[in-house]
Structure 1
């Protein structure tokens, strides 16, 4: 599961210096946090989805 392009662009615009500033630490943390939130919501809805559970463990780790 990846973030939608609009979501990614909004996060980069909010936390980056410009729209191409994807390497900034604040941007990276914000993108990872949003991804973890989406996977967490998915895991709550689909409790038997072991692949998503494994993905969230990797993202948090």
Structure 2
């Protein structure tokens, strides 16, 4: 379920501001989105895995906070990220 280093590097190179950028909100949101998609697929086949469901909810909350920060800090980048990752906008 964890992301491999090759997957992480691909996401970082796609969304990073510069080479090796792992701390920017854009990269963090993209990495969290990939983990959320993977966990969602896992939970569709393992419906009784409640510990993974709790982890999924924590990841969604963390991504929500990062997106709220990015929306207030740089709306243009926020719009680009939600379009590329196919994330719904929270209109608030």
TM-score normalised by the chain length of structure 1: 0.90
What's the Cα RMSD here?
0.9
2:64 corresponds to: none
Matches within 5 A, 1:11-50: 11-16=11-16, 17-18=18-19, 20-50=20-50
Q: After superposition, what is the alpha-carbon deviation per residue over 1:26-54, rounded to whole angstroms, capped at 9, x for unaligned?
A: 11110011110000000001111111111
* SS of residue in 1 equivalent to 2:10: helix
Q: After superposition, what is the alpha-carbon deviation per residue over 1:3-24, rounded to whole angstroms, capped at 9, x for unaligned?
A: 1111101000111121x10011
Structure 2 gaps, min length 5: 62-92
**Equivalences, count:** 60
Report the structure number with the largest CA radius of gyration. Answer: 2
Q: Hey, what's the Cα distance between the residues in 2 that align with 1:59 and 1:25?
A: 14
Moved over 4 A (4+): none
